[in-house]
Structures are given as C-alpha cells and as structure tokens.
Structure 1
Amino acid sequence: MSSLERRSLRVGYTSLCDCAPLVAAFELGLFAEHGLDVRLERQTAWSTSRDLLRIGALDAAHMLAPAPVASWMGAGDRALIAPMAMSLNGNTIALSMALFAEVEAHDPEAAHDPLAAARALAALAKQRIAAGGRPLLFAAVFPESNHHLDLRRWLAAGGLRIGVEARIGTVPPVEVEHFLERGLIDGFCVGEPWGSLAVSRGAGRIVASSYDLWSNRIEKVLAVGSQFAAENPRTCEALLQAMIRAAQWADPPENRTALASLLVHGGYVDAPIEVVRRSLTGRVPYAPDSTPRLNPDFLVFHRYAANFPWRSQAAWFAQALAEAGLVQSGGAPLSAFRPALYARAAESIGAPYPLVDVKSEAAHATPWIFEQATSPIQMGREAAFDGATPTEGAA
C-alpha cells in the first residue's frame, strides 16, 4: 500500500443497479483496505463520464462496455481502456402500453417471444408508414452502448429499417420512463431499474431483456484513462483488487437484498427499494400487475468470469459499432480491453481467471465449463435470440 502512486481517486458512476460493485467496494470499506481514498461522483449522462475520463477529471468510471472500444476505433483518441468488466446482462427493452396492446393483438406470441414481438411491431410500423404516419421513436442511453446496438438488432430482426420505420435517439437512463409516460417515445432500451420502474408505474411493458437477446454478455466495464493506467500501475492494480472483491460479494443471491439497501438508502439509485430488489434478485415483472419472471442470471456481477474483459467481445462491439455507422472502422479496438491488468490483480488476491482472452461468443445454449483458466470456470448460457453468432476474428 505504501508504494501506491496515488491514494485519492475520483470515480464516476451512473444511477443504475449495475453500479453496485463500485458502491459495495466503497460502502464495505474495500477501497480503504487496499489503501485507496475513493470519492464516488454521480454522473447524469454517459457522455459526461466519458469526457471527464478523457480530460482526467475522473480517474475511473462505471462505463458502457462499447465506449472504450469506440475510442480505439478509426481516428479515436485512444483515451480510455477497460481493465475489468463490472456486470453481465441487466437491460430491458420496453414499449408503451398502448403500442404493446397493438403488438399483442397482432400476434399473441409477442407476450412471450422477443422475435415475435419484433415482427409484429414491424408489421404495425409499416402499416403506419403506408397510412402516412410517422416512424416509431425509440430511446437508447448512448450511441456507443449495448442499448443502442441491441435495439437496432432487435428491430432489424423483425424487419424494421432504422431511419425509415424506426428512429433511435439518446435519452439519459433516469429520464426514459418519463419520456415514455409523456408519449415522447414509443419505447426504449435502458439498464435496470428504469425499465422495471416504467412497468411498476403502468407506463410500459417489457418485451425483452438483454439476457433474452444475448445471454451473459458484458454490459458495463470499469473504465480508466489510458494515461492514468500508464502512470499509476500500482494504484490501478489496487483499484481492481478492491473491485474484484466487491463483485465477489455482490454476486451471491444471499447478498442481493443488502445490496439493494446500499444502493437505495445510500442515495445511489433513486427508485423504490422493491423495484431495485426485484431487479437485483431476477424477479422482474414484464407487465404491470403480472407475475414476475424468474431469472437468477438477470444481472450477474462475478460468476461466469463476468469481470474478465474478453477481447472476443471487444471484437464484436467494434464490428457492431462500425456496421451501424456509429463509429469509423479500423484502428486498434481490441486494445481497449486489458485482460493482462485484470489477470495480475486477480492473481494477487487468489481469484481464478482465464489464461486466454478470446472464447466462442453466443455459442453455448446451455451452461458450460471454461477450461483454459487458472482453474476451471463455470460459465452460463451464452446464446443470441436470433441464432446469430459474431463473426470469427471480427475487427
């Protein structure tokens, strides 16, 4: 600890359930145990977190997994890296109640099948355009996000054309429910608890979770400035050590109720505690006054090698961002994810970690074992709703 280059750190977070490892590390004193004096600072927009990291006003931040990858693409400034993932899954796509009623009337299977919902939605949208109506309006939290990429993929799977029958804009996470309730958008993709909050208030109906679309994919990462990591290697390692321990604590079901209390009563997430608890325990109602759907993997913090920054997933993010026209292709996108930094921190605290940084993606319909690790790691189901798998060696 005495050899840390810096002790005082400013770390950003966004008000979501998946900021939980940061909150746990702070509230349980794990940062302090590793010699760090951390100040957690709430950010209201992902662009703010990204830009504050770029200029060094934040040292680290809870961040969308594709964002550091985007910074290494094309003519990007290569200012951000991700030495650790923070979570898997945890997002929802929701439609307004009125629109979902039309979708379900068109195809009752839409209530249970994301692909059926997308196809029914496309049929309705095309009818609306043919009758002189406007395109459907959707909100995602940021262009360089799984939210935007998943919305595009889900809409396209149904046959909708982005920019023709549907448009996607950007709305901060805490605002999407208000936009839906006021009729400013027809649907959204957002991280929990904001999709569940829309359901609890009768404003929206969830049609898919990110687990439903691509199970157990990296959702958020811990991002740090490239220069910060280069100049403060021991401090960066201490930060990762504390965060891995926090993720280990946050993951088991028996700690999720206490975790909900930390998030809500600590003032990190401004939502009713029952809504947050349901998100964290995987008991999420998709419709108002409905029986919750049970999914223990709805939001994962550590198991399934959840904290390892897989470069095979960085490759998929780069491919998807370029294909969507959100970021110029090229550059060195895989360099955004730094598995070697994670491995060093994990080894120092006795946590298992993979010995290679790529794996087959979206190619496991059932749980499986990853053998190429310091000890075998139990992995979860990894499959895509449309049956597609990322291009081998993309980007």
Structure 2
Amino acid sequence: MRHSTLPCSLLKKTLASVSCAAFLVFGSVAAPFASAAEPEKAELKLGFIKLTDMAPLAIAYEKGYFEDEGLYVTLEAQANWKVLLDRVITGELDGAHMLAGQPLGATIGFGTKAQIVTAFSMDLNGNGITVSNEVWAEMKEHIPMQDGKPVHPISAAALKPVIERYKAEGKPFNMGMVFPVSTHNYELRYWLAAGGINPGYYAPAKGDISGTLNADALLSVTPPPQMPSTMEAGTISGYSVGEPWNQQAVFKGIGVPVITDYEIWKNNPEKVLGVSKKWADANPKTHKRLVKALIRAAMWLDEGNNANRQEAVEILSRPEYVGADAKVIANSMTGTFEYEKGDKRSVPDFNVFFRYNATYPFYSDAIWYLTQMRRWGQITETKPDSWYFDIAKQVYQPAVYRQAAEELIAEGKAKASDFPAADESGFRAPTHEFIDGLTYDGRKPNAYIEQMKIGLKQDSVL
C-alpha cells in the first residue's frame, strides 16, 4: 500500500540502503523517468471526494502508474466539493476529481469565478436516486409490477402523488443533491421534470441562488457521505448521489434506490480531472503524464469485462479512499445494483471507466451540462449555439488527451483502436437514450432546450 508523498520515501520501500539521490541516478527504475520531456513538477497533491468514481486516482496510485510517469502523488480526501474547488483555484491542490459541471460553472462565473480546465473524463454513470422507506411505500402504489417486482425504469410520476400529499398537508418535500453544478443535481432535476414535477429555478440576477423558485420539490446541498444519515434523521426524504451512498441506504434499511442515472441518461458523463488553466499552462508535460497514468488506470478498471473490479473494491474500501464496507461498494462496482432489499439486478455498465470512450473529453458532454444550467436558470439569459461551443472549447482539452494517448500507443501500453478516431469532431453522435425519449444533439443546444416541457426556453426571463 502506498502512502508516501516524496520521491525518496517511495523509493526507500524498494531499496532502503541506497540514498534517494543515488537511486535516481543509478537505479534500474531511473530509465523510464529519463526522457527529453521531464515533468515540470514531479510532486503533486490531488484531491478527491469519497465516492467510488474516484477509482482512477486510487488505481493509478496503487498500481504505480503515476510513478511510471515520474510523478509522486499524494491523494487527499476533501470535505466537500466547494473546498475541493477552492483548493485547486488557490494552488493548494494541483488537481482534483471534480464534478463535470465544476470547471464549466467556474468558467462562466456561476458561484466561484475561475478558469478550470479538463483533459480527462473520469467515468460514465455511477449515480442513483434514493427515497426513504416511507416515500417508497407510497410510490409503490403507482408503479407497475411484474413477478412481484417493480418494473424499471421508475418514472418520477410515481412520486408526484406523494409530493401532492405533502403540499396538501403544508409540508415541504425536501431532497438532497451534492452541489448546484453537479451531475446529481441535473439528473435529479431531469428525472423529476420528466415525471411532471418542477424542481425549481435559480435566479442569480435577483439574488436567489437557492434553486427553489416555483419548486414542487425543494433540492438542497448535502455532502455525499452524509446523505444516508440526513435522510434517516428526516431532514430530507430522498437524494441523488454517487456510490456507495445509495447502496448504503439499502444495507442500513433506511431507504430504497428507485433509479440509476444509467436509466435516466444511458452512459452519461460524470466526473473529470480538473486543474486550473494557470497550472495546465505552466505544467504541460506534467499534465500530459498525469492523463497518461489515469488512462492506464481506467483501462485496468474495465479490463477483461470488469475482471479487476473485486480487487478495485478492496482498494476503495480502505479508509484513505472511500472508507465504506467492501460489500457495499461491491454491490454496484462489480456490475450489479440493489434496489429494494433483495432486488439485486445486473447493471454491468453502472460504473464505466474506459469503454465507450469514457475518458475522452468530448465537447458535446460539456455542452449538455451548459444546456441544463440554462434550463434551470443558472445561465440567466439566452445564448447562441456558438456561445455553448466556445465555452466547451475553453474548458475541455482533447488535444492534451490526444498527446497522452499517442505516447501510450507508441509505448505499447495501448492500441489506436482504444481511442476515438483521429478525425473525430469532439461531438458524440446524437442520442435519444433518455428516460423521456428526447434526442440530444450537442451541435444544436438551443433546439435541445426548446424540447423540454419544464424548464426555461430561449426567451424566458425569471
């Protein structure tokens, strides 16, 4: 197990009797580090939140992929997404496991204004929406059943009567999500709206950044590890979060995951590696090497039809990483997902780290997030399609990814076929694999927004 922060301390594990300096000069492992393009910065501190989708960082560390690139990395868990972002901005962290919406939100100035970029997408899918046992008991009355089990995917229309009862009793219906620009927020909103429930609007021009204007369900921020206990306390009646915190509710017997994000939007982008633009500009060789190590980790995680996942589970369960029971993590990480207690179903793509070009920073992925920011009022006014393209290109850096991939191919660690075609445009093909059947084409963001029954349209003003 690696816990070192300095090159010397890492190397002492291998040859304690030889000085660090001598080992670097004469040791047999020096050769992979000696190149014409040494990293500008070798010692890095990377942040993460205790979620299973931080796995590429943990695997790159544990398998020595960072060291192969001459990088000596410290991985450090962060208290919440805001602290993580702030520490990347100030330079206390060299980079971090980030919500895909964070670099975009920072760039457009929603919340903290900063230039954050990404050259690596960490995963697809990985989230779920959970409700309390009380809410689930009411929802089941409105859900089709087959062989005694609920038919999936479950529409939020089944939740609507519950919310209406709360309203009739003069009570708010509260749900948790992890951050205003998180995938979890947008997925929860998408699911609710597809079922005829308005999750509310942001009105920053009016000083209202609660996101609850005209809301049927009130969404608020709760840190991921605190989701189960907050629901158990009755503060919230449900939440949208990444693993293992949906499965934790099942194991504790306090709630039921009703839908995965795979069922809301099949193979949706989730986290990214975020670094400040200033850092990326100052450390291009280090940045490329960092991406190389993470690509290798992602490949390992999906290798052999998820053959390495049980080993990954054991690594992630350690307290320095996710720190949850291995059985809880394995429930989703190994290709299954448990909804109601005992209702475990096969979901082989619940966590995807490399296949389907998961690691490539597609512009169309960035644009989807921006459309949701506009839909719910975080972007306060109509923008032309060209604006969406420009922001995506400011934040997403496929050229850096390409350089990393090309070196891995040249080194024999990957094949050209592992990556998108050299002439790809940065846009995934249009897809209609959403719970409401709408088609998303990243080249036509405004046309996409106009399809939504609930949400701001081109000329809407709050």
**Structure-2-length-normalised TM-score:** 0.77
Are residues 327 and 51 of structure 1, via their aligned partners in 2, closer, same or farther at CA, if it must alter by over 3 Å?
farther
Q: Does 1:237 align with 2:288?
A: yes
**Conserved 8 A contact 2:334-2:348:** yes
* 1:362 counterpart residue number: 431
- Aligned with residue 309 of structure 1, among 361, 375, 388: 361
Q: Distance in 2 between matches of 1:353 and 1:68?
A: 23
- Aligned with residue 124 of structure 1, among 162, 169, 181: 162
* 2:235 counterpart residue number: 184
Q: Does 1:333 align with 2:399?
A: no
* 1:19 counterpart residue number: 54
Q: Distance in 2 between matches of 1:141 and 1:300?
A: 21
* Aligned-residue offset at 1:78: 4.2
Q: Does 1:84 align with 2:120?
A: yes
* Aligned-residue offset at 1:327: 4.1
- Tell me the SS of whatever aligns to 2:108: coil
Aligned pairs (5 A) from 1:1-395 = 1-2=33-34, 3-73=38-108, 77-109=113-145, 111-116=150-155, 118-129=156-167, 131-162=168-199, 163=212, 164-252=215-303, 253-265=306-318, 267-288=320-341, 290-328=342-380, 332-334=390-392, 335-350=394-409, 351=414, 352-354=418-420, 355=422, 356=424, 357-363=426-432, 383-391=433-441, 392-394=443-445
Are residues 146 and 361 of structure 1, via their aligned partners in 2, closer, same or farther at CA, if it must alter by over 3 Å?
farther
- Tell me the SS of whatever aligns to 2:186: helix
Give, as a single letter, the amino acid of the residue that structure 1 aligns with 2:397. R
Q: Distance in 2 between matches of 1:266 and 1:34?
A: 26
**Conserved 8 A contact 2:143-2:154:** no
- Tell me the SS of whatever aligns to 2:270: strand
Q: % of aligned pairs identical?
A: 36
* Aligned-residue offset at 1:326: 2.6
Q: Distance in 2 between matches of 1:195 and 1:126?
A: 25
**Conserved 8 A contact 1:312-1:361:** no
Give the greater-gyration-radius structure (CA).
Answer: 2
Q: Distance in 2 between matches of 1:328 and 1:234?
A: 38
Give, as a single letter, the amino acid of the residue that structure 2 aligns with 1:16. L
Q: Distance in 1 between matches of 2:42 and 2:309?
A: 29
* Aligned-residue offset at 1:321: 1.1
**Conserved 8 A contact 1:70-1:333:** no
Q: 309-318 or 154-163: which moved more?
A: 154-163
* Aligned-residue offset at 1:90: 0.4
* Aligned-residue offset at 1:303: 0.8
Residue by residue over 1:253-299, the C-alpha shift from the partner in whole angstroms, topping out at 9 and shown as x without a partner, is: 210010011111363112111111122112211012x1311011010
Indicate the RMSD between aligned Cα atoms, in angstroms: 1.8
* Aligned-residue offset at 1:153: 1.0
**Conserved 8 A contact 2:177-2:240:** yes
Q: Distance in 2 between matches of 1:122 and 1:113?
A: 17
Q: Distance in 2 between matches of 1:44 and 1:148?
A: 19
Q: Distance in 2 between matches of 1:242 and 1:217?
A: 23
Residue by residue over 1:159-184, the C-alpha shift from the partner in whole angstroms, topping out at 9 and shown as x without a partner, is: 11224321100000000010111111
* Aligned-residue offset at 1:394: 1.9
* 2:454 counterpart residue number: none
Instruction: Structure 2: give runs of 5+ residues left out of the alignment.
Output: 1-32, 200-211, 447-462
Are residues 179 and 211 of structure 1, via their aligned partners in 2, closer, same or farther at CA, if it must alter by over 3 Å?
same
Are residues 14 and 74 of structure 1, via their aligned partners in 2, closer, same or farther at CA, if it must alter by over 3 Å?
closer
Q: Distance in 1 between matches of 2:280 and 2:354?
A: 23
Q: Distance in 2 between matches of 1:179 and 1:171?
A: 8
* Aligned-residue offset at 1:40: 0.5
**Conserved 8 A contact 1:310-1:358:** yes
**Conserved 8 A contact 1:88-1:301:** yes
- Tell me the SS of whatever aligns to 2:355: coil
Residue by residue over 1:169-217, the C-alpha shift from the partner in whole angstroms, topping out at 9 and shown as x without a partner, is: 0000000010111111010000000100111111111110010100111
Give, as a single letter, the amino acid of the residue that structure 1 aligns with 2:329. V
Q: Distance in 1 between matches of 2:135 and 2:343?
A: 21
**Conserved 8 A contact 1:72-1:78:** yes
Give, as a single letter, the amino acid of the residue that structure 1 aligns with 2:233. R
Instruction: Structure 1: give runs of 5+ residues left out of the alignment.
Output: 364-382
**Structure-1-length-normalised TM-score:** 0.90
Are residues 264 and 115 of structure 1, via their aligned partners in 2, closer, same or farther at CA, if it must alter by over 3 Å?
closer
